Amino acid sequence: MMSSDGPSTCLPGLSGRQTGMLKVRVIPCLDVKDGRTVKGVNFVDLRDAGDPVALARAYDAQGADELTFLDITASHEKRGAMIDVVERTADACFMPLTVGGGVRSPDDMVAMLKAGADKVAINTAAVLDPTILRACARKVGSQAVVMALDVRRAGDGWGVFTHGGRNSTGLDAVQFAKRAAELGAGEILLTSMDRDGTKDGYDIELLRAIRDVVRVPIVASGGAGNVQHMADAVIKGGADAVLAASIFHFGEASVADAKRALADAGAPVRMTEDA
């Protein structure tokens, strides 16, 4: 699956200190339920690690390039809590914010953008009806539409899953990613459900396969166990951004650690002292 000419097709003239070039983004991700972070968080200097806004501030201070909130609230009635979280985060952190979870329509996207999100990720609704991506892009611009794609290995390829990775759709992930970008998704948030939570590293072959067919930015997700995995996702997988949760939340690595590893591997990054 690895192409013989390596990653040069997507990141020309790799150099960690090269300035005039788009930087690889390091994105901490927070799972939020009923307005509170759920995955265990172990920030020593944080009074309330369950407060997504406090965590967002901490990552802002660390020099995170972007933040992603995934709302895993089960009931639709309680989703208002997410709007409040987004509003309070946008009031405190002047950095890009992506929000996903439970987004079903262009109007859902507008509500999140109005609250202060810059991009909105859509998953199940767009898998069931991909044309919704076109409607969303028409309404808010494709730059704000993120296709959150949950995939698992299936045979020689990968299949698309919905409902947090529980339900198989039988769709081919590579073909679906291509279609999603054509319809208006401005970014693919690509999560390997096989790797999610394993800390075995991102699925590089998956990244490569999607990279080869999709020209919108790709965010690697699922499997980050150390900062070298992030470098691999970018250098070998061709990812434009790396997303991780627990490795950051438990203080195993800081955003700056991740960026140093990326820079050492030759990826262009925005070091915090550059900010």
Active site residues: 31, 150
In angstroms, what CA-CA distances link 32 with 70, 76, 102, 241? 6, 14, 12, 21
Minimum distance from residue 198 beta carbon to other proteins (Å): 27
Residue 108 touching other proteins (CB under 8 A): no
How far apart, in whole angstroms, are the C-alpha atoms of residue 90 and residue 97?
8
Phi and psi at residue 88, in whole multiples of 5°?
-70, -35
Residue 144 touching other proteins (CB under 8 A): yes
Residue 212 touching other proteins (CB under 8 A): no
Please tell me the count of residues contacting other proteins according to CB under 8 A. Answer: 46
Residue 22 touching other proteins (CB under 8 A): yes
Residue from 3, 143, 167, 198 that binds other proteins (CB under 8 A)?
143
Residue 95 touching other proteins (CB under 8 A): yes
Residue 58 touching other proteins (CB under 8 A): no
Of the pair 11, 193, the CB lying nearest other proteins is at: 11
Minimum distance from residue 213 beta carbon to other proteins (Å): 12
How far apart, in whole angstroms, are the C-alpha atoms of residue 56 and residue 73?
19
Of the pair 80, 141, the CB lying nearest other proteins is at: 141
Q: Which of residues 181-200 bind other proteins (CB under 8 A)?
A: 186-187
Residue 9 touching other proteins (CB under 8 A): yes
Of the pair 33, 119, the CB lying nearest other proteins is at: 119
Residue 46 touching other proteins (CB under 8 A): no
Q: Which of residues 149-178 bind other proteins (CB under 8 A)?
A: none
Give 252: exposed, middle or buried? Use CB within 10 Å, 0-12, 13-18, 19+.
Answer: middle
Phi and psi at residue 191, in whole multiples of 5°?
-110, 125
Residue 256 touching other proteins (CB under 8 A): no
* Closest CA relative to residue 67, chosen from 100, 39, 41: 100
Residue from 127, 140, 209, 247 that binds other proteins (CB under 8 A)?
140
Residue 270 touching other proteins (CB under 8 A): yes
Residue 80 touching other proteins (CB under 8 A): no
Which residues of this chain interact with other proteins, rule CB under 8 A? 8-13, 19-25, 60, 65-66, 87, 90-91, 94-96, 113-116, 118-119, 138-144, 186-187, 215-218, 240-241, 270, 274-275
